[in-house]
Every structure is written in C-alpha cells, then in structure tokens.
Amino acid sequence: MITFFVPGKPVAKARGRAAIGKKKGKPFIYSDATTSTYEACVGLICKQAMARAKVKQLTGPVSLEIIFRFAVPKSWTKKQKEMVPLAHTATPDLDNLVKAIKDGMNGVAWEDDSQVSIVYAKKLYSNNADGAYVTVSDLETDKKGDI
C-alpha cells in the first residue's frame, strides 16, 4: 500500500491544447503548464512515498482512493465553517481531478493507469490546508478487490 499527501489546491486535468510544430508543421497535443507541473509534483511525492514504504512499481490491478480537500471560502459565515467537512460541489469536476492524479502516477506507482480497477474519490471543504490524500493498494496482495 502507498499513502501520501499532495499539498496545495488540487488541479484538474485540463483539456489538451493543439499547436502546429515549427519545424515540420505537423499538429500536436500538449498539456498546459499548470497541469504538467501538478502531475510532476504528484509523481515526485508518490516516488518518495514508495521509497519510504519500500514498494516497487505495481504490475497488477490496483485500487485508488483519493480525498480532495478545498479551503473554505473566506465569504462563509462562522456557522457555515462549523459545518465542515461538507461536500465540495463547485468546480473543478471530480473526474478531472482524478485524471490529474492518475496521470501523475503513470510510470511511477504503476506502468499504466489502465491498471486502476477500483476508484474511490471525494472532494470536501476543509478548515485545514488544501490538498489531496492518496492511497494506492495492490489488489493482488491486499485481496481487497473482491466484488
């Protein structure tokens, strides 16, 4: 099992941008800088967590659990802040947040994100720092994949 925390406001996977190559004039798709930086950060933190846990890259099916935390808006009243944690229903979309985490872990925690067969994710408001709590479990050794 690999568990780690990605500090900072979670970043959703942005749509790919298209451009024309300068030398050959062929179109190509690229990710914006914010998404690329966030995914690189996720990969680095994951690699550090794997080294601490002495876990190698997973080759079989995996389970992924992510809890995204977003800071409470400053405009909220004291009463609203006392009701935290509440479901975060504003943008960014949950599926795009999960994509960014999965893509950041490609080639680090697993060979390809197609290995992820179970995903549990939620996004909440928090009185604590922004961030994402990530847990990856190897279904072949943990036997949590029973359906």
- For the entire predicted model, the pTM comes to 0.85
Give tens-digit pLDDT for 4-54: 999 999 999 976 667 677 767 777 666 788 899 999 999 999 999 999 999
Per the CB < 8 A criterion, the answer to whether 61 and 140 are in contact is yes
7 preceded by a cis bond (ω within 30 of 0): no
Rounded to 5 degrees, φ, ψ at 72 are -70, 135
Task: Output the pLDDT for position 140.
Answer: 82
Give tens-digit pLDDT for 50-80: 999 999 999 999 999 999 999 988 888 888 8
Residue 147 lies in a domain: no
Residue 117 lies in a domain: yes
Q: Could you list the residue range(s) of the whole structural domain that residue 20 is in?
A: 2-142
Task: Output the pLDDT for position 76.
Answer: 86
How many C-alpha atoms does 13 have within 13 Å on its Cβ side? 15
Q: What's the domain count of the chain?
A: 1
Residue 90 lies in a domain: yes
Task: Output the pLDDT for position 32.
Answer: 82
Average pLDDT over the chain reads: 89
Residue 68 lies in a domain: yes
pLDDT at 103 over 80: yes
Strands 2-7 and 131-138: antiparallel
DSSP labels, 24-54: T--EEEE--HHHHHHHHHHHHHHHHHHHHHT
Beta-carbon contacts of residue 4 (< 8 Å; ≥ 6 apart): 45, 46, 48, 49, 133, 134
Domain containing residue 65: CATH number: 3.30.1330.70
